[in-house]
Amino acid sequence: MKKALLAATVVATTLTASLVAAPAATAAGRESPRDGRHQSRSAIPFTEASVTAGADGAFTLRWNTRGTEHVEIRANGKVVAKGGSRGRAVVTGLPAADRQWFDFKPQRGQGLRLADRLVRLEGTANFRDAGGYRTTDGRWVKMGEIHRSDALAKLTDNDLAKLRRLGVKTVFDLRTTDERTKDVDRVPAGATYVVADVFAGSGSFQALPKTPEEAAEAMIDAEKSMASGEGGRKAYARVFQGIGTDRARAVLFHCTAGKDRTGWSNATLLTALGVPRETVLADYLAVSPAAALTRCCTVSVG
């Protein structure tokens, strides 16, 4: 997997200004590592921040800061919540939107623009934003730039129109030839479709296992191939290089369930961007309720 991580690192290095929000405080800013009272004006004081959309249309906002006493949060240009350095707020009554964004504005330092990580579509169960995570040096991976998903074969016309409005310009398909033939992707009009088959040439899933033991062995072999096989290295490098050259982001990469091949690709990118290992692992294991239901009722190579 070293080649894929190297490719992701190159992308992270060249795209820091566009994929990662704001520089961390430097020695020149005289930030105290303990209390942040001398925080640089260019630093983002948020150590935690999130937006979670409920099924009832309400949004739960959470935040924690260092070095600032007051936070104001805006949506659609209006103040919808405010509080101290640490807080939680539930916002209701916002108008319908493709995606509801919130601007977290601290009393000192730079703010954050966040949305719920899950993008709700009629034809997918696990379409998520790759951003919204804090790095080890205090920066944040921007949202609305890179997306990940399960298969796109069931996207509706409404979904495709929504993705066009969200600006998806490049779609990377990590699936095998059989998967792509059986469930052909539907992509937004004008978007570039790129095949990046993780299992190309590996021989994985060429025959259905006949026993539980064979199934377990097949999954182990597939996971090894996914992480370190030649097809995987080439596929992930293609995705990361594509992210680096696509200045019209948003970019989307996906497999069948949006968990293994997609999750590994996202984990590599987040690692290269400096997101802590525990956060990367939590993101890899995270799944939406709809995707969890799909996973329990179907068998997929991910």
**What are the catalytic residues?**
255
Q: Which long-range contacts (CB under 8 A, 24 or more apart) does 234-237 make?
A: 234/196, 234/200, 235/174, 235/196, 235/197, 235/198, 235/200, 235/261, 236/1, 236/4, 236/7, 236/8, 236/196, 236/198, 236/264, 236/265, 236/268, 237/3, 237/4, 237/7
Any idea what the Cα angle at residue 243 is, between residues 237 and 244, rounded to 5°? 90
d(CA 272, CA 218): 29
Strand partners, 192: 170
- Relative to beta strand 170-173, strand 71-75 is unpaired
CA neighbours within 13 Å on the CB side: how many for 28? 5
d(CA 169, CA 190): 7
Strand partners, 90: 60
